[in-house]
Structure 1
Amino acid sequence: MNKFTSVLIALLLQATFSQSSFAQEGKSALVPLPSVDDFSRGKDGWSLGLGFGIEYETAYEGSDEFGLEIEPAGGLQWRSGDNIYFFAGEALGWRGVRGETWLFEALIGFDEGRKESDSDDGHLFGLGEQKEGAELVLQARRAFDADWRYWLVGRIVTGGDGSLGLFGVGRRFGNHVDGTGSEVNVVVVVHDDEYANKGFGINSAQAMASGLNETNLSGGIRSVGINYNFRNQVHQNGQIYGEALFEYFSSEVRESPIARSDYEAEIGVGFIYLF
């Protein structure tokens, strides 16, 4: 799903993960969560962050192949009070805070699809190409208090090929309100049968072309997962960020011939320069 970033260039900065003096200025973010981009530094108006990250991740959903990939990061934002409107390369959206403990987000993003060439070992041969397309993403987080120490999260992703839902709990670490620090989320992911078969199903024509068994999945639990995010101010205008993700598939998904691994994993770090 869960990668909507702009195509831009910057220098990746190696730095310590400890809190710097810049992070202690107490600049207020929309919500103090490192997973939520906010380049406004607490001010209304335009803000811009440009950078890139390096990710080590699975080649496609269910793959046992891993590789490095350079991804652009950052985006253009307009803040008005408790609302931020943003354009981040492959995503256009809005997020806003209501009543200090509710964060809502809506965006239209881009699904890259899947190509047979995504597998260097030829495991997708005969399965054909999955078309690129737009997706609607709706998300809500409900904090237990205005400090955003603990929260509940729900997300729905829907488009032309079914729908996926994510539900979980989160915990923030650190005391800063500028969006720096770290957080962890534990989630359960569900999908309908159309979305399940888009990623892991094999129809009769694909079975004949690939030699894999025909596979038809039903909707239900897709996986359980955990992800960790951090963000640190390393310069007055520089942020280093990172993410680690682990997703363990349900038994039905693991039985699909496409799922050559029981899990999906990703780790990445990057740098964003704030203008």
Structure 2
Amino acid sequence: MKKLTGLLLLLCLNGLTSQAAFAQDEETALVPLPSLDDFTRGEDGWAFGLGLGVEYESAYEGSDEFGWELQPAGAVQWRSGDNIFYFAGEALGWRGLRADTWLLEATVGFDEGREEGDSDDGHLDGLGDQDEGAELVLQARRAFDSNWRNWLVGRVVTGGDGNLGLFGVGHRFGDQMNGTGSELNLVMVVHDSEYANKGFGIDANQAAASGLPETHLSGGLRSIGIDYNFRHYVNNNWQIYGEALFEYYSSEVRESPIARNNYEAEVGVGFIYVF
């Protein structure tokens, strides 16, 4: 979180360039949330955005090492009424708006896994590499009104290595309906024992190879967190976006030798060109 000054810069840009966004004000996003890409300009058909971001984040879950990473941004989208189908990097998904206050989403993506080399200080030595695997993400948001000022959110992540669930509340700042502005989410995250041990458990073989104590987690509460998202149109085609995330681990996760920090944090900024 050392780079939160980047978010302050974004807030300054929001004020300095607000006059450049007037052309976007009449557009209506499927759901006016800055955390959701919508390049369709409120129209049916194909849409495309391409960009690049930079993130300062934990090297792996539980790490006390941080580093910079470049990330591609954007997506190919196809809109039909209240439905958007999209391909974004390694994710293929659909989201749909129902009754103006329900947003449903289903995505097939990939978990990047974890490699021993993710720790430059050797804290993962002997734990082996985890392979990349497919995941299914199901999400629902229920707004309290059609302006999407406040909402409830629920998400389930399932795949070959257990299940994770997220539950929370969100608030959107600003009056724009084109997906710009900022939002804040407060969430609670739970996981089953299989998912918990994938990230923070140490089996007998790993313990023998690494010298770390054998560790088994029972599942339950994983963390509580806060997530901030920002999006702004610099002009008719360029978007600037930012995100900051802080996740504080539960006592069971903090007791794992893999969790060298009590939290995970990330901050990122980037640009997207909308064609």
TM-score category, normalised to shorter length: over 0.9
Tell me the residue number matched to 2:13. 16
* 1:127-175 Cα deviation digits (max 9, x unpaired): 0010111000000000000010000000000000000000000000000
- Structure 1 Cα separation of the partners of residues 47 and 226 of structure 2: 31
Q: Is contact 1:64–1:261 with CA below 8 Å preserved after alignment?
A: yes
Q: Which amino acid aligns with 1:17?
A: N
- Structure 1 Cα separation of the partners of residues 29 and 20 of structure 2: 14
Shift in Å at residue 96 of structure 1?
A: 0.5
Q: Does 1:174 align with 2:174?
A: yes
Structure 2 residue matching 1:177: 3-state secondary structure: coil
* 1:232-257 Cα deviation digits (max 9, x unpaired): 00011000000000000000000000
Matches within 5 A, 1:222-241: 222-241=222-241
Matches within 5 A, 1:10-159: 16-18=13-15, 20-24=18-22, 25-159=25-159
Q: Is contact 1:23–1:180 with CA below 8 Å preserved after alignment?
A: no
* 1:211-235 Cα deviation digits (max 9, x unpaired): 0000000010000000000000001
Shift in Å at residue 16 of structure 1?
A: 1.0
Q: Tell me the TM-score normalized by structure 2.
A: 0.94
Tell me the residue number matched to 1:221. 221
- Structure 1 Cα separation of the partners of residues 177 and 117 of structure 2: 44
Shift in Å at residue 89 of structure 1?
A: 1.2
Matches within 5 A, 1:202-217: 202-217=202-217
- Structure 1 Cα separation of the partners of residues 49 and 133 of structure 2: 26
Tell me the residue number matched to 1:3. none
Structure 1 portions without partners, runs of 5+: 1-12
- Structure 2 Cα separation of the partners of residues 243 and 151 of structure 1: 19
* 1:35-62 Cα deviation digits (max 9, x unpaired): 0110001010000000010000000000
Tell me the residue number matched to 1:4. none
Q: Which amino acid aligns with 1:267?
A: V
- Structure 1 Cα separation of the partners of residues 20 and 85 of structure 2: 25
- Structure 1 Cα separation of the partners of residues 26 and 257 of structure 2: 51
Number of residue pairs matched?
263
Identical columns (%):
73
Q: Is contact 1:180–1:231 with CA below 8 Å preserved after alignment?
A: yes
Shift in Å at residue 126 of structure 1?
A: 0.2
Q: Is contact 1:23–1:178 with CA below 8 Å preserved after alignment?
A: no
Q: Which amino acid aligns with 1:241?
A: Y
Tell me the residue number matched to 2:188. 188
Q: Is contact 1:223–1:249 with CA below 8 Å preserved after alignment?
A: yes
Structure 2 portions without partners, runs of 5+: 1-9
Q: Is contact 1:116–1:122 with CA below 8 Å preserved after alignment?
A: yes
- Structure 1 Cα separation of the partners of residues 262 and 14 of structure 2: 31
* 1:187-212 Cα deviation digits (max 9, x unpaired): 00000000000000000000000000
- Structure 1 Cα separation of the partners of residues 197 and 26 of structure 2: 47
- Structure 2 Cα separation of the partners of residues 21 and 106 of structure 1: 36
Moved more, 240-249 or 22-31: 22-31
Shift in Å at residue 22 of structure 1?
A: 4.4
Shift in Å at residue 26 of structure 1?
A: 2.3
Higher share of residues assigned helix: 2
Shift in Å at residue 23 of structure 1?
A: 3.1
